Structure 1
């Protein structure tokens, strides 16, 4: 009887984890470039009371065994890197990646981080930076007196100066792809870090080697589907309730045994 209590407890823990994942998805429904997560679960080990295929005393074998599971557990949370809906802003330094790839930014400690958040601005030095002040890698600098800024689908950033007709090139926005983007480490701030699971970064220009194109004046919205997340929330809630009901039922049965 005690086995049922512990099995139901693992089910409640798994449901709580699923609710945590759903809550984080819903909390970031308005976060630019956010990719929703999905909980991954597995069944726990089985207690084998009779081995399948075991031999009986009469020489025949068991067609099936007697195994009792011990519950479920969360083993991973994977990112769903599906394309988010584009939102037009009209700002030339707002960039959406149409396809695969991540923007490369440089952190203050010298580490390279990766993001899908293309909401860039110019700092006081004219460098193109994220909302947190992290510059693009490689750095792109646009003079303060630039009159017109354009970003092509190939990532080429150009501007014009007062009195000039020919545009000047500030640089090219680089994109990075990974063989396993689900293996990237989420650090907050819309940033990811490379890990052994993600594989080595493949850097290059947009529209080359399966990298996406740059859409200037657009931002990629979160790919969270609110309706789907609400369904997942209800499922997690009902699963928690059923497992808690199993705990109550097992407790009542133990109570009757103790009263005999």
Structure 2
């Protein structure tokens, strides 16, 4: 009976964490480049001494699958088709993002919506805000008119799951994670949408609610059984 109660509590805890994750996914439904979180719930038996206890645990990970590329026609809206990240100059080192809604400030620096400079290969490129149109090829090389500006720093990781999510759609890499060249293609005039499906998340939410309700019913049943055992009539 105690094992059943413990298992139900674990299952309800996993359901609560799953519900929080679904809520976060839905909150970022319209966030450019956002990658949804998913989890895998596992049930397993653990032998402690002579007893066998059933446990439940959930593993959270990020789904890095491609989001839909939405055309905008804006010259500084850039999207990646394939695996990889734009590199951004953060205050404490490099940051990585799939959100390519960039703009050029008055001094000609290509920046994120948060005002962080976009990183380049080699020297930072400078764009004349009042100059000729800027073109970006599929490798991330920029030209203004016929003048070469530079190459954006676009990288990938062998194990992107090691990246740590930050606010604003940015990621940081642990020291052991070394950036490698990305084979992603740059699409100018496009923005990558979040890889979140509202329908899928709502369906998952209903399923989680049912699991949680089942857990409460099991706990109630165990509680009633315990009362009958301890207070026999």
Does the alignment reach a TM-score above 0.5?
yes
> For the residues of structure 1 that align with 2:125 and 2:165, how far apart are their CA atoms?
25
Matching of residue 201 in structure 1 with residue 184 in structure 2: no
| Mean CA deviation greater in 39-48 or 120-129 | 39-48
Q: TM-score, normalised on structure 2?
A: 0.92
Q: List alignment gaps of at least 5 residues for structure 1.
A: 51-65, 161-166, 204-209
Contact 1:13 1:73 in 2 (8 A): no
Contact 2:45 2:52 in 1 (8 A): no
Which runs of no fewer than 5 residues in structure 2 stay unpaired? none
TM-score normalised to structure 1 length: 0.83
Distance 2:150 2:183 in 1: 18
User: For 1:161-186, what per-residue CA distance to the aligned partner results, in whole angstroms no more than 9, with x for missing partners?
Assistant: xxxxxx21111112101001111100
CA distance in 2, matches of 1:181, 1:85: 20
**Which residues of 2 match residues 1-260 of structure 1 at below 5 A?**
1-43=1-43, 45-47=45-47, 67-69=52-54, 71-74=55-58, 76-109=59-92, 111-138=93-120, 139-160=124-145, 167-195=146-174, 199-203=177-181, 211-260=183-232
Report the structure number with the largest CA radius of gyration: 1
My pick for the range that moved more, 127-136 or 188-197, is: 188-197
Report the Cα distance in structure 1 between the residues aligned to 2:140 and 2:6, rounded to whole angstroms.
Answer: 56
How many residue pairs match? The answer is 229
CA distance in 2 between counterparts of 1:116 and 1:154 reads 15
Runs of 4+ in 1 over 6 A off after TM superposition: none
